[in-house]
Chains A and B, each alone.
Chain A
Amino acid sequence: MANLEAKNKMSVAQFGLFLTAVMFGTQIIGLPTKVVPQAEQFAWVSVVLSGGLYFIAVWILMKLGEIYPGQDYTAYLPQLLGKWPGLTVVAAVLLLLVVFVWVIFNQFSRGLAFFMFDRTPYDVIIMGMLGVVIYCALQDLGTIIRITQFTFFVSTVMMGSIWILGLFNFQPENLLPLWTDKPWGIVEATFSTWGVYGGYEIILLLFPVINRTKGRLVLALALAIGFVMLISFVVVIITIGVLSVEGVKNESYPVLVVVRSVELPGTFIERLENYLLIAWIPSVFNTMAVLVYAIGQTLSRVSGFADHRPWILAVTPVIFLGATLLDGMEMIKVADKMVNWLGAVLSLGIMPLIYLLARRSERRRMSGAG
């Protein structure tokens, strides 16, 4: 009988789904708060533009992987850039993932505490979620893939069904006028959406395990980014349509308020925002389990360990401390901004430069070999 847990390769389609599950969900709740104050009723344009932008970013990471087939970024970056500059870039990616996990844990615990467990300390919520996340991240890649596939479908279907009820209160005129005197705001908002797509960096690590004999990877990436972009687009449109631009600016959790504004007549189902939060939990779990797995794998490969599990256990207190030490609204805002800009700079600045360098060095190698 085949061992379903031992799996070191995944198909292109599986990777596409896996990537979607990693990117989707965590930032959806906070997305309108990030983009609407800057881009106002054109926030949907920023979301579409950022989808295109981060597709280019992930495409570059894929092309980089193609130049070094069979190797992940911890192997080829030191080769290409030299040991220490290469390790510095690896460290930057690692830092990005760690801070991103802190921010997600923190925002998750705050949202959950505010709406569902108002007397529960954030630390307790973080501890509970961290326990299951670490347990998942300690597993083999095959197990993690199966868990994310299952939870992704459950979470997405449930979130979508609840969320779409917001259409009851939708007013198209809130999306007007189709005119703005602040076009720069749209550009600014475009660059502040890294978190929505954040997590695609796992391709740097997992590229060698993608079995590319069947299916087109570029199409899978486009579909993954396209799905997240489409959901983000719908979320932004409905949120503005229900709450108006100024309404969104005034709410801490506008996405939840949209669901909160739904009154289902004659039913005993009330407080729909709590159901949305419950559906959101598996989605956050997916993202964090894979990100923690990626952190552990990166550390084990850099340090020459064969097993990622000791590193997962080693980073657990770092994750817990970081997430709990992000205390106070100002600090969370700074961490969120930092992770956003670090992600954008790495994906849209440093990685494209590395790709150009890799192509030049490949051409030289080819011409030398020729």
Chain B
Amino acid sequence: MNGGGCQVRDKGRISGILLVIIIAMISSGCWDQRELQDRNFVLAVAIDAAEAGEQPGQSPAAKANETFAQPHGEKRYRLSQQVLRLGPARGGGEGQQDSGGGQAGGRTYVLSNTGQSLFEIIRDTLGQSSKPLYFEHIQTIVISEAAVQQAGLKPIVDFFLRDAEMRWRIKVFITPGEARKILEYVPPNKDAGGIYLANILRNHVKNIHVAGTRTDLGNISVMLGNKQDLIIPRLDMADNIVKSSGVALFNKDKFVGYADAQAVAGIKMIRSTEKSAIITVPGDKADEVVAFELFMHDTKLAAHVDGDQIYFTLDISMTGNLGEYQAPGQIKGAADPDFIRRIEVKTAAEVKRIVLYGKDTCQAAGCDVLNFSAKLKAHHPQTWAKVKDRWDELFPYIPLVVSVNVVIAQIGEHR
């Protein structure tokens, strides 16, 4: 009897072990798994107009290879993809083209193709790639001014907003030149270009000239959805130097021009998106320079309606430190309270000037990226209902009353 019981228990155990093995075999891993090295990671995308030009020395046959037979429509865009080269970065050679279209020494290479549908272009580019192109890690989209002027911004970003592989926080740039060239840029630290470019925008917290708040792909989507005007950071490249400074201004999805770095500072101050800033003013003498470093601010933009008159007020209260004091030819301290007071007043006046410059730039371009319409709609909905159809006409003439208070809390370690 006991022996029979043991046999039954053993059978039960064996069945249990077999069941566990079978479950482990069928449930481990994904059925459609693809290893890391079997993917081509796209880190950045550049969109140019289709006729942006051949690469230097490119033969007609090579140009023909960077396109495909399109059943209908015209060739509208050239889409270039910056692909991560898995493995160690190559050393040496500046400016040398490697076989993949990128510059030797970089961790990436670039594939280009032309067509109309961006999705179709990407899929056709697989004809140039040994592995599937994978967009889960895309960081940056660079769009050329020429491309965006063709049909507006919305048709270009649509694919990136629709596809589940894309990220909501992709950094977007507009460049006045050729976008593909920027993808070929090899950063000095040999980082992958797409990541390097995206990280430039992340520096917006320290650099008031860089517009990086609410300019990501997702923010662009929300603004386009709200039929709001928007800004996209500008990116320039010359002689292997890339720099983001200034912004491209969009009226809804139509490109209307650029605003310079000073205007960006003003726009950020009005929108209260600046985290830090260096504001320079003259000292007591004309050749003296004092730099104020902004640490904290309390900014309030308010809409007011007085009869038919709409105007805005901007109250800014800034606190920061005196970060630098250049006084040539004399050894003079900065700890004098009267001097500090004078600098506070000058800094406040400079902030006011920057704000009004930003406001005037936007009004001259007819581009309401100052949150005026959003504020009016939120706080005076009935007035907004009356003026919303004429807002584009009214916006350039809306007054802004600015009041700035600056407090210098510290003068630094050196008095």
Contact = CB atoms under 8 A, between A and B. Distances in A.
Interface of A: 114-115, 117-120, 173, 176-177, 179, 181, 243-244, 246-247, 249-250, 257, 260-261, 263, 265, 271
Given A119-B32, A244-B225, A177 B377 contact: yes
B374 interface: yes
A117 B32 contact: yes
Given A260-B168, A261-B169, A271-B136, A247 B378 contact: no
A119 B225 CA distance: 29
B32 A260 contact: no
Contacts of A117: 32
B226 A246 contact: yes
Interface stretch (B39-47, B178-186, B379-387): B379-387
B22 to A, nearest CB: 15
A260 B226 contact: no
B385 A181 contact: yes
B379 A176 contact: yes
Contacts of B379: 176-177
Given A176-B379, A177-B381, A247 B222 contact: yes
Interface string B13-44: 00000000000000000011000000000000
A356 B164 CA distance: 51
A115 B31 CA distance: 16
Nearest to B385: A181
Contacts of A173: 374-375, 378
Interface string B142-173: 00000000000000000000001001110000
A115 B165 CA distance: 8
B221 interface: yes
Interface of B: 31-32, 136, 164, 167-169, 202, 218, 221-222, 225-227, 374-375, 377-382, 384-385
Given A176-B379, A271-B136, A250 B167 contact: no
Contacts of B226: 244, 246-247
Question: Of residues B221, B222, B227, which shows the largest number of chain A Cβ atoms within 10 Å of its Cβ?
Answer: B222
Given A243-B222, A260-B218, A177 B378 contact: yes
A120 B227 CA distance: 36
A247 B164 contact: no
Contacts of B375: 173
Given A173-B374, A177-B377, A246-B225, A120 B32 contact: yes
18 contacts: A115-B164, A117-B32, A118-B164, A119-B32, A120-B31, A173-B375, A176-B379, A177-B378, A177-B379, A177-B384, A243-B222, A244-B226, A246-B227, A247-B226, A257-B218, A261-B168, A261-B169, A263-B169
Contacts of B225: 244, 246-247, 249-250
B278 to A, nearest CB: 23
Given A119-B32, A177-B377, A181-B385, A257 B136 contact: no
Given A120-B32, A247-B225, A260 B378 contact: no
A278 B382 CA distance: 44
Contacts of A118: 164
Contacts of A177: 377-381, 384
A161 to B, nearest CB: 19
Contacts of A247: 221-222, 225-226
Closest 9 CB pairs of A and B: A176-B378, A177-B381, A247-B222, A246-B225, A250-B225, A260-B168, A246-B226, A179-B381, A263-B169
Contacts of B380: 177
A177 B380 CA distance: 8
Contacts of A176: 377-379
Contacts of B378: 173, 176-177
A173 B378 CA distance: 7
A31 B202 CA distance: 33
A317 B168 CA distance: 39
Contact of B218 (A181, A246, A261, A265): A261
A302 B43 CA distance: 61
Contacts of A260: 167-168, 218
Contacts of B385: 181
Nearest to A116: B164
Contacts of B32: 117, 119-120
Given A120-B31, A250-B225, A257-B168, 4 more contacts: A177-B381, A246-B227, A247-B222, A261-B218
A173 B302 CA distance: 12
A118 B34 CA distance: 13
Given A244-B226, A261-B168, A179 B218 contact: no
A120 B32 CA distance: 8
Contacts of A181: 385
B137 to A, nearest CB: 8
A39 to B, nearest CB: 15
B171 to A, nearest CB: 10
A253 to B, nearest CB: 9
Contacts of B164: 114-115, 118
A247 B219 CA distance: 9
A34 B369 CA distance: 30
B303 to A, nearest CB: 11
A257 B384 CA distance: 29
A220 B226 CA distance: 42
B136 A246 contact: no
Nearest to A181: B385
Contacts of A249: 225
A261 B221 CA distance: 11
Nearest to A115: B164
A255 B225 CA distance: 16
Nearest to B371: A173
A314 to B, nearest CB: 26
Contacts of A250: 221, 225
A44 to B, nearest CB: 16
A243 B221 CA distance: 9
Contacts of A243: 222
